[in-house]
Amino acid sequence: MTWIARFYETRIEQMLQPGKVLWLYGSRQVGKTSLLNRVLEGRGKVFRGDGQDMVLNRLLTSLDLTQIQTAFRGYDLVFIDEAQKVEHIGQALKLLIDHEPQLQVVVSGSSSFDLSQKVGDPLTGRQKVFMLFPVSVLELTELWGGIGVMQQLENLLIYGCYPETLTAPNLESKREYLVNLRDAFLLKDILEQERVKSPAKLFDLLRLLAYQIGGEVSLNELSNQLGIAKQTVERYLDLLEKVFIIKKVQGFS
């Protein structure tokens, strides 16, 4: 697979410090793990784990200092992917860096659900937060050149800049990837984390929003078209933003 160089690489390297936690978050499939794996090359002995792993999850959730210290002793850097899956992850990491201050710690997550409570509060002053976006036009210019970007502009506007859509061999592959991404990953996060009474209405809301990208959106109008309460529309929009499917932009006037 073609590696797309990210401008963030050097900046993330500079943000890594002993006794601090670097939290990298962003949408699923946006390239967080691939980027971090490149950044962590040559960083000594690195522990790589996943918050969805039952053994690691149980260890961190226990908040047992002795077990946590024993598990990570001898490592120079600890990297935990999908860290938001671990309850009280912030407290567990605080314990770790309080008693192993020489460690560098990196965690990544694909959802901002309870981000501040799970990570932020216990690590106030001890963390650095960095959000990774899809590939930018500037990054693509480095890869394709300015003319190449202009030639692909229509496809970029339609299919976006997720790394896999950029390297997909044809338009059908791009469509299939985006549908699978929506169904298997992005909306799955919402349905796992929050009780959504009518998933069908959530899909309908997405379709309505797709026709209004870049335009002004009326909550009352969406409520009437969907046949649900305005408060429900607001809640669904908030959920969609938390898993990075949409980004709300307020008016400037």
Tell me the C-alpha distance between 128 and 108, whole Å. 12
Local confidence band at 193 (pLDDT 50, 70, 90 cut-offs): low
pLDDT tens figures, 33-58: 889 989 998 889 999 999 999 999 99
Whether the full predicted model's pTM is greater than 0.85, yes or no, is no
CA gap 48, 245 in Å, rounded: 27
Instruction: Please determine, for residue 248, whether its predicted confidence score (pLDDT) is greater than 90.
Output: no
Region 77-96: mean pLDDT is 91
Q: How far apart are CA 37 and CA 236, in angstroms?
A: 34
**pLDDT class for 8, splitting at 50, 70, 90?**
confident
Domain architecture of the chain: domains with CATH: 8-131 (3.40.50.300), 194-247 (1.10.10)
- C-alpha of 110 from chain center: 3
Model confidence at 237: pLDDT above 70: yes
Among 165, 138, 149, smallest CA distance to 8 is for 138
DSSP label of 132: P
* Pairing assessment for the beta strands 21-25 and 104-109 based on DSSP bridges: parallel
Helices (DSSP H) in the chain: which residue ranges? Answer: 8-15, 32-39, 54-62, 65-72, 89-99, 115, 137-151, 153-159, 163-167, 171-180, 187-193, 199-210, 219-226, 230-242
Q: Which of 143, 145, 171 is nearest to 156 (CA)?
A: 171
Q: In this model, does residue 206 exceed pLDDT 70?
A: yes
| Of 158, 124, 20, 26, the residue nearest 81 (C-alpha) | 26
